Structure 1
Amino acid sequence: MSPPARKLAKKDFEALSEFRYQMRRFERFSERAAQAEGLTPQQYLVLLHIKGVPGREWASVGEIAERLQLQPHGAVALVTRCEALALVERRPSATDRRQVEVHLLPEGRKLLERLAELHRAELQSLKGAFKVPQIDLPEQP
């Protein structure tokens, strides 16, 4: 049996509050940057997550849904809107005919690169402020 976790102290709430504040600041920056390029924040995230899949240059709709924490039909609608903007295209998988691959198109790549550079610079500016709070949380039974 583990010892009971200590009660959260004022400093724990301050750390959580600061963390959430810095997360929201970055999120708001990201929203504005995407909108300045004519995208919704979620459209930017679709592009980012396609490029960010480890080991390959495409993502499945299911992977996009998971990364964005959306229902699959919501991800399908989002990919459809990105397709209408000529940012991505769907291709049938060469290895699994049941799967559809979502690939970036040249315009999507250019847009993503511009936005990712802005995001990298913003993260650098937040480097000292964005700290994950260390809080002792009770263990779940």
Structure 2
Amino acid sequence: MLGKPQYVALSEFRFRLAQFLHFSEAAARAEGITPAQYLLLLHVQGFPGRAWATVGELAGRLQASHQGTAALVQRCERNGLVVKRRGRSDARCVEIRLTPRARSLVRRIARCHAQALAQMDVVFRAASSAGDSVTRPPRRNARNLD
């Protein structure tokens, strides 16, 4: 069961998370792009192992529909933030790549985010330790079940 200190820690975490999200949205708008555009650019820049991503992969990262993500990619393309390129090894694959302008935007906005996240380190630790004192029911051994 959770006690008061755990609820306090979880409440503080949710409060700080909401603050961070508002900060993130404002940082994107201050650079002249929407929060959704920033997230798409961030996910392309941060995609593991390569400098591009597909619409399907970005939809997964954004937790959005394929159609909605494709529309967001089109808006970013019209605004000169991404380019689409046929895959070199598989022509059926469309690679979404950042333009130099987009890489610069992501770098500036992410720098602000890194500073804000560093300030939240104490909150993350408190929230993750909130679950440490939760009493969990003992595991039942399958052989002991009747």
TM-score w.r.t. length of structure 1: 0.87
Q: Would the alpha carbon gap of residues 126 and 8 (structure 1) be closer, same or farther in structure 2, given more than 3 Å must change?
A: closer
Q: Distance in 1 between matches of 2:56 and 2:72?
A: 12
Q: Aligned AA for 1:97?
A: A
Shift of 1:10: 2.2
Larger relative helix fraction: 2
Deviates more, 1:14-23 or 1:48-57: 14-23
1:79 maps to 73
1:37 maps to 31
Root mean square deviation of aligned Cα: 1.8
Residues 104-126 of structure 1 deviation map (CA, whole Å, 9 limit, x = unaligned)? 00111111111111111212222
Q: Aligned AA for 1:90?
A: K
Q: Aligned AA for 2:96?
A: V
Shift of 1:73: 0.5
Unaligned runs of 5+ in 2: 138-146
2:99 maps to 105
Report the number of matched residues. 134
Percent identity (aligned): 46
TM-score w.r.t. length of structure 2: 0.84
Q: Aligned AA for 2:71?
A: A
Unaligned runs of 5+ in 1: 1-6
**Do the aligned residues in 2 keep the contact of 1:22 with 1:130 (CA within 8 Å)?**
no
